[in-house]
Amino acid sequence: MRIDDKVAAIAISIFTGSMASAVIISLFSFNFGAVLIVCMFCFVMTTVVGVPLSLLIHGIIRKSDSLTAFYRIVVHMVAGYGAIVMLELLMGVSFKASLSLDEAIFAFSGAINGLVYGSIYELFRQKWGRVV
């Protein structure tokens, strides 16, 4: 996979992953009116935090079989959850308060975003070489 193919796969994954995550999270929270705000938050967090984490994950887990791709998707989900928990702790939420239902749902939205972005990016990585 050439570097411009990788950049294109990342860009497409960010846009489609952010929109899909926003729709899923908004439906999960029964507030479809917040889809634009959630999409902007998912886009910024995926671009600033998620892409470097994703490149780190793909640098550490290098094999390219289907089981390893599944592991990378799971690690993306865990990294998304962890990134939101770290954001909550950096914003001054105490650890005990971060276990409340509202904060847990917020952290779970990071896991959803990581799962969707990781799945889309893995799909493009696996299939992009055959298309281009």
Containing domain of residue 103, as a range? 3-131
For residues 23 and 95, which has the higher predicted lDDT (pLDDT)?
A: 23
Distance CA 122, CA 111 (A): 16
| Token pair in block for residue 82 | 């962890």
Quickly tell me which residue has 């294109």 as its tokens: 8
- Candidates 95, 112, 131, 128; CA nearest to 10 is 128
- Candidates 47, 37, 41, 34; CA nearest to 121 is 47
For residues 132 and 113, which has the higher predicted lDDT (pLDDT)?
A: 113
Classify residue 2 as left (phi > 0), alpha (psi -120 to 50) or beta: beta
Distance CA 113, CA 85 (A): 13
Kindly report, residue by residue over 59-107, the tens digit of the pLDDT.
888 877 778 888 999 999 999 988 888 888 888 877 676 677 777 778 8
Give Dmax (Cα) for the chain: 49
pTM value?
0.81
| Token pair in block for residue 63 | 């094999």
Kindly report, residue by residue over 30-67, the tens digit of the pLDDT.
877 778 888 888 888 888 888 888 888 888 888 777 78
Q: How many domains does the chain have?
A: 1
- Containing H/E element for 36? helix 35-45
